[in-house]
């Protein structure tokens, strides 16, 4: 093969390679611009990492005191995402009469459930819908003791946390 043919082929290969590099750089730049624009749009519409507060566990070092139930208490609660170390919030309240109480979690954004414990650490009951989606968890307790303290655990069964309204009433 003559030297001029080899030079021609080498030049053609170099130009083809250079053109492919330019196309790849343009494609990468286009993808980068689209990704940055999408991030700004997610943040602006409330999605993504800049969309608002992230729910966390409450009462992990000391349960949150809801107060004396006379006749009801409503609390804006939150629980972090379920994992090996998170996904449980703790609350406690005091009864005023020996009657049945209604405990409810409403306005949830994840699959939640709750467990009620007496002051001796014995389980009183649990409330958890079999539906694996965000639904209100409202149940009526058996008759609770007069002037007693009860601990309420709120569990998150989803890998996302949830804000909710916790209501205890008689």
Please count the helices (runs of H) and the strands (runs of E) in the chain. Answer: 1, 9
pTM across the whole model: 0.69
- Which residues on neighbouring strands pair with residue 60, listed in sequence order? none
What would the 3-class secondary structure string for 114-131 be? Answer: EEEEECCCCEEEEECCCC
Question: What is the pLDDT at residue 25?
Answer: 42
Burial of residue 120 (number of CB atoms within 10 Å: 0-12, 13-18, 19+): exposed
Question: What is the pLDDT at residue 40?
Answer: 39
Question: What is the pLDDT at residue 137?
Answer: 97
Rg value, the chain, Cα: 29
Residues of the chain with pLDDT under 50: 3-49
Question: What is the pLDDT at residue 33?
Answer: 38
Domain range list for the chain:
3-50, 64-169
The b/e string for 85-107 (b: 16+ C-beta within 10 A; e otherwise) is eebbbbbbbebeeeeebebbbee
Question: What is the pLDDT at residue 2?
Answer: 54
CB 153 within 8 A of CB 124: no
Tell me the pLDDT tens digit for each residue of 5-54: 444 444 444 444 444 443 344 444 444 333 434 343 433 444 444 567 99
Percent of the chain exceeding pLDDT 70 equals 70
Q: Which CATH number fits domain 64-169: 2.60.120.380, 3.40.50.2000, 3.30.1330.10, 3.40.50.300?
A: 2.60.120.380
Closest CA to 72 of 26, 108, 103: 103
Instruction: Give yes or no for a cis peptide into 71 (omega within 30° of 0).
Output: yes
If DSSP codes are grouped into helix, strand and coil, which group holds residue 78? Answer: strand
């Amino acid at each position: 093969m003559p030297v001029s043919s080899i030079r021609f082929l080498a030049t053609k290969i170099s130009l083809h390679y250079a053109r492919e590099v330019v196309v790849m750089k343009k494609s990468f730049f286009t993808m980068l611009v689209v990704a940055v624009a999408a991030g700004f749009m997610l943040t602006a519409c409330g999605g993504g990492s800049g969309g608002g507060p992230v729910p966390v566990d409450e009462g992990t070092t000391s349960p949150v005191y809801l107060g004396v139930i006379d006749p009801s208490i409503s609390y804006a609660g939150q629980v972090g995402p379920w994992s090996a170390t998170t996904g449980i919030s703790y609350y406690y309240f005091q009864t005023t009469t020996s009657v049945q109480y209604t405990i409810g979690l409403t306005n949830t954004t994840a699959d939640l459930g709750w467990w009620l414990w007496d002051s001796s650490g014995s389980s009183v009951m649990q409330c958890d819908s079999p539906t694996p989606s965000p639904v209100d968890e409202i149940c009526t307790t058996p008759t609770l003791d007069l002037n007693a303290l009860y601990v309420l655990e709120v569990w998150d069964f989803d890998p996302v946390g949830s804000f909710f309204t916790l209501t205890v009433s008689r």
